[in-house]
A and B are shown apart, each in its own frame.
Chain A
Amino acid sequence: MSALLRQNDRALVGASPIFEEREAGMNGPGVSTKPKMGAGITVRNLSRHYGTTKAVDDVSFSVEAGEFLTLLGSSGSGKSTTLMMIAGLVEPSAGQILIDGKDVSQLVPEKRNLGVVFQSYALFPHMNVFDNVAFPLKMRGISRAEIERRVKATLEMVELDSRRGYRVGQLSGGQQQRIALARALVFEPPVLLMDEPMGALDRRLREQLQREVKEIQQSLGITVIYVTHDQEEAMLMSDRVGIMAEGRMQQIGAPREIYEAPRTPFVAAFLGESNFLRVRQTATGWEVCPDGAANSAGSLEAMVRPEDLHLLSPGQTAALSLEGVVRYVEFPGGAMRLLTDTPAGPVEVRLHRHEAGTLREGERVTLGWSDRDMVLFGAEGRARQETAP
């Protein structure tokens, strides 16, 4: 781990020529000279309709300069279409896109000056590594010597300068990913758009690249809009996460915020694991309504995360509690996973190994949790934060 971090430090040193150049204001012709840091992006009422299907439906959000925003959603949620509209590669049916306050909705993609990393990388197979990375600079009419210098600096940043003469097909998936990143960064765009860039990589490589992308983003200070269906990736990398479903933005916020305070049952169920119960406030506190009696007056829908549940030993109390019978115990590594059958329906529990002890299926248990760890939803499915203390 520390070796890896050290390697990354070196990568950051490699990035420094770009910085010096920026500070010296030596940007070549055709390259946007204005932004030293990332640019802010505002998306207003953006829609994309295909016939009667609404791929993206009235989406609005804004990203601050230098921020890392992830659009998270399952396939068909409209996240990629949103990203491609920002890139200018899909025409919006309605709405506006502003970069640093300027409306770019009508601008062709080549004039938007955004770096884009595509799913499957979209490297040019008929060019070698150097020519791939040099491509955006050539399109901007930059001198040969300057191209050589910048491509070298960028390839050093992704630690692949030694592969400059290789054909794209000779590189591994991770290396191709880095080249795609280098190609999207070499012209120093203020914003980097990434469309499921890690989709084709194995887990270990993905974790390493996630860290590298994050470090590069922070060292360059650029704005990143990242699209993924991988929750963990989204939570790990982002300053804020926007959850999309059915073409709409469901909720946008910092990773902990959307995890701990989901605004709708959909977001609560989508992110991580969750148990949905109905609860009712009583004179002394809370009680859990049994399954079936759900519509009894004054009950609310509540969500509690499996890891926020605890086993209560006899005599112990909690703000809320529920008795159940263990249906099964699983150990996938890390925490123990339990499913218990309770009067309120099946409830999932995550316990530390020591807390779970020698618990077996068929045993009776009492589950307890704090009302702090519970999210309440009103009748219209909106979170009722005001009722939670």
Chain B
Amino acid sequence: MKQARGLNFAITLSVIFAAVMMILPNAVIIPASFNGENYITFPPTSLSTRWYETFLTDPVWRGATWNSLVVAVLTAMVATVLGTLAALGLMRLSVRARSLLVSLFLLPTIVPTIISAVALYGLLAQMGGRGGLLGIIIGHTIITLPFVVVNVVAALQQMDVRMEHAARSLGASPLRAFWHVTLPVIWPGIAAGAVFAFLCSFSEIVMSLFLSGAGSMTLPVQMWSGIRFEINPTVAAASSVFVVLSCAIVALMGFLRRKQGKAMKS
């Protein structure tokens, strides 16, 4: 009993520690982004929104943000379609073949991104596709595909196959059974995969560093060079926008899921 309490205490403590470690950078960056000085300081010595102004008006930052959004949206779309199809195919295999192939699909999360990036860089350089948004989208699709596959496979495993069987027995072709029954039932899993893919692509830097060119800078690449070549508080403003946007998307996702869950139950 006493031991259990001690263990509980230790777990609580480590969770708090981990949470603080994750939140702490934001607690520094967000106040720092409202600093009026020409360099990043904490705590801020004066309050100003001038770096947000720069972030929103400077064509370089605007371009990078736009590029990131385009890449993330297209990556999410391509990865979602491919990943969902892959998951549907995986479900038709025997349990053993499926688990084997799922681990294959997970490889991009295990292989260091830099290796995939170098490989893709070489390939794209040969084919003349380096430096464009398309290359980045291909790279990001490779990295984000596992998120979609895992989420959709999980959703499909939770679904009662008999629902699909019922649809077929009631007169639906395989395609209509998928469209009218399977898709609406596994929708939350697909959406979760898509959101993960979007967020992952939006914040990805290693692939983007290798594959972007002058005209295809993404936001993380721009932030990276912003830190390296000029310690400019615009980076702090960009990070803050980034964090808030990501949080908003995750919150929206949670909200939609809860709504969906309630609708399913009641």
Contact = CB atoms under 8 A, between A and B. Distances in A.
B128 interface: no
Interface string A281-304: 000000000000000000000000
Contact of A118 (B165, B264, B265): B165
B181 A170 contact: no
Contacts of B180: 124, 135
B169 A110 contact: yes
A301 to B, nearest CB: 42
A122 B163 contact: yes
Q: Is the interface of B mostly helix, strand, loop or mixed?
A: helix
Contacts of A114: 169
Q: Is the interface of A mostly helix, strand, loop or mixed?
A: loop
A169 B167 CA distance: 18
Interface residues of B, number: 21
B263 interface: yes
> Which of B167, B170, B172, B184: most chain A CB closer than 10 A?
B170
A140 interface: yes
A122 B171 contact: no
Contacts of B185: 124-126
Given A118-B162, A118-B165, A125-B185, A139 B170 contact: yes
Interface in A121-160: 122-126, 135-136, 139-140
Interface residues of A, number: 31
A175 interface: no
A128 to B, nearest CB: 11
A122 B167 CA distance: 9
Given A110-B171, A110-B172, A126-B185, A116 B166 contact: yes
Interface string A97-110: 00000000000111
A87 interface: yes
A140 B169 contact: no
Interface of A: 30, 84, 87-89, 108-110, 112-116, 118-120, 122-126, 135-136, 139-140, 167, 169-170, 183-184, 187
Given A30-B171, A135-B170, 6 more contacts: A84-B165, A88-B168, A89-B165, A110-B173, A120-B160, A183-B170
**Which 5 A-B residue pairings sit nearest by Cβ, starting from the closest?**
A139-B171, A122-B162, A136-B170, A122-B166, A116-B169
